[in-house]
Amino acid sequence: MKEETLKKILIYQKNEITEHILYSALARRFKGKNGEILHKISGDELRHYNFFKKITGREVRPDYIKIFFFRMVSWVFGITFTMKMMSNGEDQAEHNYEEVEDRVPGIKKIISEEVKHEESLMAQIEEGVITHMGSMVLAINNSIQEITGIVVGLTFALSSAILVGKTALISGMAATLAMVASEYLSQKAEAGDSGEPLKAAFYTGVVYLLVVAVIVSPYFIFESHYAALVVALGAVVLIITVFTFFMSVVKGLLYRKAVMEVSAITAVVVALSLGLGMVIKLVFG
């Protein structure tokens, strides 16, 4: 076997043992159906590792940095997001496998099993955050547009950081309650007497309240209302960036297109709110 081919197979082998250990660790953490699915995927990765081991005749150490990284990712963003990120790596691996297909008999089977079986198993993962992604997207978008518009308008209308903060916080909490009630009633009409409406309302409320807290908090920290506004807008950019990345990975969307769309809508709302706030200040002083 050529040295170049051997090096590539050793990389594949390292990936397989790394993902075997990672999925095995995740399986121990997630009980029930999700744990069983993760255990099956872990077994697949081990079989692939042994397949490559027969070819190379070598033991390969796993990538513990990668294992640590994805375990941390799973704690923060959940198992579905983590698996989707790892799946993106598998897509690249599939392309790499094809480079040595002619020289390694049986590798085509590995490709098929790696992609199709894992996609099938991942589709069976049940995670509340993902189930109610629609509710969370609605809460994120509404809260960003509404609260950003409120703080921008009030900043130029009131010219007092603490007053803007208090007013925006009250408005945000009232909007959160209204959003939770609306989401519950909407889900109730569709789901009937199941527990899903309560879960959807809960996720909506938590997300909405977190966004309100992040955007409004600078007005309680900084004395200058303009400084508070700059920090608040920076927080909005961060929220949009992180959540859009999360959504694009989980839903398989184009990140650049998604973030540009959300950013454009937010920019229009901010611009209109800024104009309204300046008009109110000019009219009423």
161: left (phi over 0), alpha (psi -120 to 50) or beta: alpha
CATH architecture of 3-126: Up-down Bundle (1.20)
pLDDT at 242: 82
Report the SS3 class of residue 132: coil
Q: Give the integer Cα–Cα distance in Å for 165 and 156.
A: 13
Contact 42, 117 (CB under 8 A): no
pLDDT at 152: 80
pLDDT at 21: 92
pLDDT at 97: 60
Query: Where are the domains positioned within the chain?
Result: 3-126, 129-284
Give per-10-residue mean pLDDT for the chain (285 aa).
76 88 87 81 86 86 91 80 72 57 67 66 59 68 80 80 90 87 76 66 84 92 89 86 78 74 75 72 68
Q: Give the integer Cα–Cα distance in Å for 218 and 161.
A: 8
